[in-house]
Structure 1
Amino acid sequence: MNQSTRAVLLGPLLKSVSRSFYLTLRILPAGMRDPVALAYLLARAADTIADTSLIAPQLRLELLLSLRAQVNGAPDDGALARIAGEVAGQQAQADERALLESLGGALAILPQLSKADRDAVRDIVTTLTTGMEFDLRTFPDETSGEIAALGEFDELDRYTYLVAGCVGEFWTKMTYAHMPGTLKAAPDIMLAGGVRFGKALQMTNVLRDCARDLRIGRCYLPSSMLARHGIAPRELLAPDASDKARPVQDELLQTTIALYRDALAYTMAIPSSAIRLRLACLWPIMIGLETLVLLARNDAWLDPERITKVRRNDVYRIMAASMPLVASNGLLKVWAERRISDIQAALNGATRP
């Protein structure tokens, strides 16, 4: 592959499909950018395959597993052609089509990485696609009208590792590999912190996207937790569901807050001299906690017309606000505790409409 093609894949194409992540990627130290960017592109392509509901789940699963095998060194030009022809053609967004049509080029970058980076990218994409496989095997066809729920919290916890906690782990490995001497804490401590960091972000996604997921048959709220409050998964579609399921949301928000505290500790363990790396960690924490504040204040959190979302202008505001905080652990603690207090106040009913 020539350098111009690689530059397009890891530059404009990545930017078009990664939205806010691209902002984080741009400030990463140079050595980390290519393996992290490539892992993102491959995982995003896999996610697009898994989520294309106009294609039967069994075919999506087949193509997903084929892509995983190709990432791990088993070429399959026929599967690439099917992905480009059958899946790309179903995408409403031009950038998603371009990504799927460019998979051959993305896979060709893998051998250009160092062996350590190549192995790390393969590991993370394998784990992430295992999470996508779990979705396809666990939940019904999106058009079936049926709903399936996870059983116990342990299943949700495992799921958040497969689709996000492993990313924190990968990120930490990349930091040790490409910024030697930066992280002073023992690797096992930082790796565990990275896992909890990723889980914090995915728990936020689970709660934010719950209304939409329910309408495609996916209930990530464990049925055991719902049952304690006399709720069946299908009842979450009812107009009064947001209020009835509030205790479950509150419990999961408390769990998520604890994960964010660990994510903040992870960030504060990065030396203040590594500003770029600290910012790359701080931005998703700040956006995530802002999302939790909005969720806690949203009395209609299970209404698909009232999805909680941090607006683009607020993302830029958050990024600007991070600059005077990023180098000071003391300021970071004060800021985080204020946002957590806002969440707790909303949970106690002080600021709900």
Structure 2
Amino acid sequence: MPASTLLTRKQLPLLRGVSRSFYLTIRLLPPALQGPIAVGYLLARATDTVADTTAQPAAERLALLSGLAQEIQSPAGSLQALQSLLNQFARHQTDPHERALMQALPDCLPLLHALAPDDQASVRWVLGHITRGQVLDVQRFGQGPAALATEFELDDYTWLVAGCVGEFWTELCERHLPGFATQSADAMRLAGRAYGMGLQRLNILRDAGADLAAGRCYLPAARLTPLGLSPEQLRQATHSCDAAALQLLAPLWGEYLQQTHTQLSEGLHYSQCLNSRRLRLASALPALIGARTVALLRQTGPQALTQRVKMPRHEMRALLWRLLWRLASPHALDREFQRLSQ
């Protein structure tokens, strides 16, 4: 069911408010995909907001996450009983759009029930993994400054909150758009998994400074120790803008950016294999924006932990117009990816 049909005039602004870029992606999708992806995104964004509301004690965040996950997984789920707790969390949101989402969430869950049964099952599957990753986040970081321990924990986290989304996206395409790609569904599922994990790695690198300030270090302690750094030393260096200490991170920073770029290139390949021009454009945009962001982070180096690095909005608009002009052809996508990666 199209998002414009499934979502009401009240809920469409919610979607646009919490993510203008993803709202654009959803509007570009073929109509059959818009509903389940829009509903899944709204619910995932809501549970993410709960996990990130650090003004509330970890125990209360975990309790609300558990309640939301239980109702989402129930075919007859309802959030009316959680309304007062949602309103309590809403009062702690500094972003008015996230506050509005918290308050409107009980009206959003029925959108899940309005989907076809197969799509409901897919949305519940992906949200089950996403909320598990969010619960792990609160458990790890809810008691004060902490860090992921190993590379395995980092990979597991990026799959739980984003890699599974690439698989979910592919499953919906296979169901609603037979013959949607030039590659097999299994090959597309693997590429979608890598794509999602790459986008989450990019988020981690882009937001590393803000996360450190909040007591969250997603750079594994096992990778920092050989560089002569601990998560706490990295947090202090970021806070004091200690260029010498931050420079110790340079080898790992470069390695992670290269790994992220490789996974984003998997996403570009995924997009190039799609037969629908609208789907190809919608799928490619995050990879292209990501390639530009990786380039900016590489130029800035570890000093990026002390500042906000993102692709300017006017560059995004220009990119979209170039892609539309060239009909989002596979060749045009490759050309843009190479250009933006410089």
1:125 counterpart letter in structure 2: L
Q: How many residue pairs were aligned?
A: 332
1:212 counterpart letter in structure 2: A
The answer as to 2:62 corresponding to 1:61 is: yes
Aligned residue for 1:7, secondary structure, equals coil
| 8 Å CA contact 2:249, 2:302 repeated in 1 | no
Matches for 1:19-34 after TM superposition, within 5 Å: 19-34=20-35
Identify the residue that residue 268 of structure 2 maps to in structure 1: 264
Identify the residue that residue 105 of structure 1 maps to in structure 2: 107
1:119 counterpart letter in structure 2: A
Aligned residue for 1:167, secondary structure, equals helix
2:260 counterpart letter in structure 1: T
In the TM superposition, residue 302 of structure 1 has moved relative to its aligned partner by: 4.7
**How has the CA–CA distance of structure 1 residues 77 and 263 changed in structure 2, closer, same or farther, with 3 Å as cutoff?**
closer
TM-score, length of structure 1 as denominator length: 0.88
In the TM superposition, residue 86 of structure 1 has moved relative to its aligned partner by: 1.1
Identify the residue that residue 129 of structure 2 maps to in structure 1: 127
Aligned residue for 2:8, secondary structure, equals helix
1:242-266 per-residue CA deviation (whole Å, 9 max, x = no partner) reads 3111111001011112112211111
Identify the residue that residue 348 of structure 1 maps to in structure 2: none
The answer as to 2:251 corresponding to 1:247 is: yes
Any unmatched runs of 5+ in structure 2?
A: none
Identify the residue that residue 138 of structure 2 maps to in structure 1: 136
Q: Hey, what's the Cα distance between the residues in 1 that align with 2:65 and 2:150?
A: 26
1:15 counterpart letter in structure 2: R
Aligned residue for 1:298, secondary structure, equals helix
In the TM superposition, residue 76 of structure 1 has moved relative to its aligned partner by: 5.7
| 8 Å CA contact 1:270, 1:278 repeated in 2 | yes
Q: Hey, what's the Cα distance between the residues in 1 that align with 2:9 and 2:80?
A: 24
- CA-based RMSD of the aligned residues comes to 2.0
Q: Hey, what's the Cα distance between the residues in 2 that align with 1:6 and 1:329?
A: 32
After TM superposition, what 4+ stretches of structure 1 lie above 6 angstroms from structure 2? none
1:80-120 per-residue CA deviation (whole Å, 9 max, x = no partner) reads 22333211122223322221122221111222111000001
TM-score, length of structure 2 as denominator length: 0.91
Q: Hey, what's the Cα distance between the residues in 1 that align with 2:311 and 2:301?
A: 16
1:128 counterpart letter in structure 2: I
**How has the CA–CA distance of structure 1 residues 250 and 70 changed in structure 2, closer, same or farther, with 3 Å as cutoff?**
same
1:279-324 per-residue CA deviation (whole Å, 9 max, x = no partner) reads 10111111101100110011453543x1211222222122123234
Matches for 1:213-228 after TM superposition, within 5 Å: 213-228=211-226
Identify the residue that residue 45 of structure 2 maps to in structure 1: 44
| 8 Å CA contact 1:301, 1:308 repeated in 2 | no
Percent identity, aligned pairs only, is: 37
**How has the CA–CA distance of structure 1 residues 231 and 31 changed in structure 2, closer, same or farther, with 3 Å as cutoff?**
same
Which of residues 82, 86, 89 in structure 2 aligns to 1:87?
89
Which of residues 298, 302, 310 in structure 2 aligns to 1:296?
298
| 8 Å CA contact 2:57, 2:142 repeated in 1 | no
Q: Hey, what's the Cα distance between the residues in 2 that align with 1:149 and 1:80?
A: 31
